[in-house]
A and B are shown apart, each in its own frame.
Chain A
Amino acid sequence: MAAAQKLSELLNEIDATIYNRFAGKTFWIKAEITDVKKYADKRWCFLKFIEKEGNMVCAEMKGVFWSNTYHHVENFEKETQQPFASGLEITCNVRVRFHKRFGLDLEVLAIDFAYVIGKMEIERKQTLERLVKENEGILLLSNGNFSTINNRLQLPTILQRIALVTAPNSDGQRDFKEVIQKNKYGYAFEVKEFLTQVQGDSAAMLILQQLENIKQLQGQFDVVVMVRGGGSDTDFKSFNSFELSDYVASFPLPILTGIGHDRNTSIVDLMARQHKTPTEVATFIIDKNMCFEKDMLQLKERFFAAVKSLVETAQNKLAYNARIVKSSSPKTILNKGFAIVMHNSKIVTDPALIHETDEVQVILRDEILHSIITKKEINETDTEF
């Protein structure tokens, strides 16, 4: 075996080779940018240049703007009215640099503003056109809004059993669950997680697979929630995939998205029901349940008010009838000074049944007068009592 050399010696050789080939030269390249990290305070910007074959990344290289060229980033944003962010395909002037510790990268010296439309935006437009074309009559576009089988599904009255599609240990997962679990109304929820990668080339297919798993168990869920935290536009890309968007558009359970992007709406958002953030999705679910409970409590109030009114009406009727009964009782009549005439133990109501010499009892309030009829005559007086 040949004598081993130090790492630094090898790297010096690489450095010298690169220097000899690239020193003093600049190159115009066209590439998509991703993982863009801007440090406005230091006026640095780190990124990656990528090139794809189909959907697969076939070339990748680190890139950097230092403070002396950072103004190109600011100018780009000012001129194009769009953020210098992942997903854009740009044309720029670079030089090759090698550092023994930090490796190889391309230092950006200038950007060609004429090439400003990001490849992702073009892909996005094409995907939307294809979705409409391949789902003719089902996927409808009206006033910029897409009406799909999925977002036309009626939401259940109560959303309680939730299939959560999210990345493990992500901000989106944490935010959604925290709001749901700590809801101030004490509503119970059952959240079953379907964890998946949400960024990277295979993310769209992995999310789709989890949706397929949910479909197998659809009777167990009221709703699907798809969330992720904030991130770059490239991270957002899986939610613009044709296959995933197409699957979401006709998914048989309502899907609420909280994909967490302030500026853009993904195609999946358009196919489902969009909420801006995971927290907003959770709040929407809680509020929906709260509205139901509120309606129910209003009904309860109406019910018991009607019961109270019904009982009061019945009580009033009863009291009235009791007064009538009381005022017609013999005792009340005797108290008023009237008398009851009895003959052969029966109250006399027909004077024709009484004859002279008959014995009758005249009942007063405090005494009974045993009497013999000595004379009968017609009452022709018009006595007012």
Chain B
Amino acid sequence: MKPTLSFDKAFSELEKLVEQIEDENIQLDSLAYKVKQANELIKYCETRLRNISDDIENEKTNN
């Protein structure tokens, strides 16, 4: 997961995945990948909510 991904972007990507999965024409071959992507997005947000992530620290150092 990209370290600079914003919460908004993560959320909208998750929304997009839900829409794709809810579309019955989805290729089953891609299901496993989409589940992996969704899990990563959720984990990313959960982790960032509970940890001050490195990118924030980096941003500070750069300023």
Contact = CB atoms under 8 A, between A and B. Distances in A.
A155 to B, nearest CB: 12
A160 to B, nearest CB: 7
Nearest to B9: A157
B59 A220 contact: yes
A224 B11 CA distance: 24
Contacts of A307: 21, 31, 35
A161 B49 CA distance: 11
Contacts of B21: 303, 306-307, 310
A152 to B, nearest CB: 19
Given A161-B56, A219-B59, A299 B14 contact: yes
Nearest to A295: B11
Nearest to B57: A190
Interface of A: 156-158, 160-161, 185-190, 217, 219-220, 289, 292-293, 295-296, 299-300, 302-303, 306-307, 310-311, 313-314
Nearest to B45: A296
Given A157-B11, A311-B31, A187 B56 contact: no
A293 B48 CA distance: 11
Interface string B30-50: 010001001000100110111
A310 B20 CA distance: 11
Contact of B7 (A220, A292, A313, A314): A292
- Chain A at the B interface: mostly helix, strand, loop or mixed? helix
B52 A299 contact: no
B12 to A, nearest CB: 10
Contacts of B11: 157, 292, 295-296, 299
11 contacts: A157-B7, A160-B52, A160-B56, A161-B56, A187-B50, A219-B63, A220-B59, A220-B63, A292-B7, A292-B11, A303-B21
Given A161-B56, A295-B11, A188 B42 contact: no
B4 interface: no
Given A160-B52, A314-B28, A299 B15 contact: yes
